[in-house]
Copies of this chain bind each other. A is one copy, B any other.
Amino acid sequence: MAETKRPTSETAEAILGEYYPVLDHGFISLMDYMGTDPTVPTCARTSYGHGTKATSNDKGLVRYLRGHRHTSPFEFVEFHFHCSMPIFVARQWVRHRTASINEVSGRYSILPMLFHTPEAEHFAKQSQSNKQGRSGGLDGSLHEMAAINWSKQRALIQENYEWLIAEDVARELARIDLPLSTYTQWRWKIDGHNLMHFLGLRCDPHAQWEIRVFANIIAGILERGWPNLFEAWADYNFKSRTFSRQEMQVLSKLLIRSGAGLSPSRTELTTENMVEIGLSKREVDEFLAAFDSSKYDKAHFELPETKAFEYFMQDAQAAVPKIDVNHG
C-alpha cells in the first residue's frame, strides 16, 4: 500500500489485483486505474466556466452527459486489465481499436497447452434467426462425442508442437497449427468511454457467448468500482433502445402528447400498418419485441469468487511443455 494524492475509489481498490476466473482457464484482473466516479463530472465542469450556474449534482450530471452523447469527460477515466482468453475470443476483442494491448508472443515464448472446451450447456445449434449466433439445445451425446474429438486432436497437435520445439524449430513456425481454442493472455488498457462502447457491443446477446462472459465480468467490475458510471451506461446505453425514423412515426401515431403527460391514442397498428410506414418484416419483429418491460429492469452483473494470481500461474506453468531443446 502506498499513499497517493490521486482520486481513489475504495471499491475499486478492493477489486484491484483480484483475479476473476472466466471459462475453463481464462481470467480478468484489474491491474491499475486512473479516475473515479467524480472525475467525469469534474472534467465536464471544465467546460462550464464563469457566468454559469452549477446546479446538477455529480450523479445527475453523469447521467445527463451519457444521455446527451457528451463522451469526452468519460475518456479521463482509464482501466488497465490483465486478461486470458481463447484466441477465437481474442480475435473479436482486438477489433476494438481504441485500446492498448500487450499480448504474449508465440514468437518469443513456448505457449502453455491450455485449450478451451465448451461445456454441454453452451453447446448449441446454429441459429436460424440470428445468422451469426446459436440457439437450441443439442443431444447430450453429441457434446460427449465432440469432447472426445477435441481431446484427441489437441493431444496430436500438442505432440507435434512439442516435437518441433524440441527440434529447435523457430517458435513462430512451431505454433502455426495451434487451434483457435488455445488460451492467450494480454494486458489491456482502455478509457471509460471506449470501455462503455466495448461493453455495449460485447454484453449484448448478439455477441458470442464466450466473449460475453468476459464482458460481463468487466461490467461487474465497473458496477462496483464506478457505480455512477455503470448506472449511466446501463440506463442510457446498455438498456436503452434506439428507434428509427419509421419506428418513431409508428410511435407518434400510437402516443399523443397531452398537456402534462402522454396518452395512448385509440389507434392499433398491425404488422401490415407498420410495413406500410416503411418497416421491414424483420424490423417489425424487433420493434414489437422492444415493448417488454422485463427487459428494462435495473442492470446488475454478478461476479464470481476470485482466485489467486498464483492459481492461474500454476495452471499455465503446468501446461507448458517440458522440453529439452536440441540446439545441435
Contacts and interface: CB of A to CB of B under 8 A. Distances in A.
A51 to B, nearest CB: 3
A92 to B, nearest CB: 9
A172 interface: yes
A181 B170 contact: no
Contacts of A314: none
Q: Give the size range of A's interface with the partner.
A: 35 or more
Counting every copy of the chain, the complex holds 4
A158 to B, nearest CB: 10
Contacts of A7: 32
Interface stretch (A217-225, A234-242, A303-311): A234-242
A121 interface: no
A45 to B, nearest CB: 9
A11 interface: no
Interface string A100-112: 1111111111111
A268 B257 contact: no
Q: Interface majority SS on A: helix, strand, loop or mixed?
A: mixed
Contacts of A187: 43, 46, 76
A300 interface: no
A58 to B, nearest CB: 14
A57 to B, nearest CB: 11
29 contacts: A1-B3, A2-B3, A2-B5, A5-B17, A32-B76, A46-B185, A49-B112, A50-B112, A52-B109, A64-B282, A67-B283, A87-B91, A88-B172, A88-B176, A91-B91, A94-B94, A108-B131, A115-B177, A124-B173, A180-B180, A189-B191, A239-B245, A240-B243, A249-B293, A251-B251, A254-B254, A255-B255, A255-B264, A260-B271
Nearest 6 Cβ contacts at the A-B interface = A264-B264, A134-B170, A49-B109, A51-B110, A34-B34, A252-B293
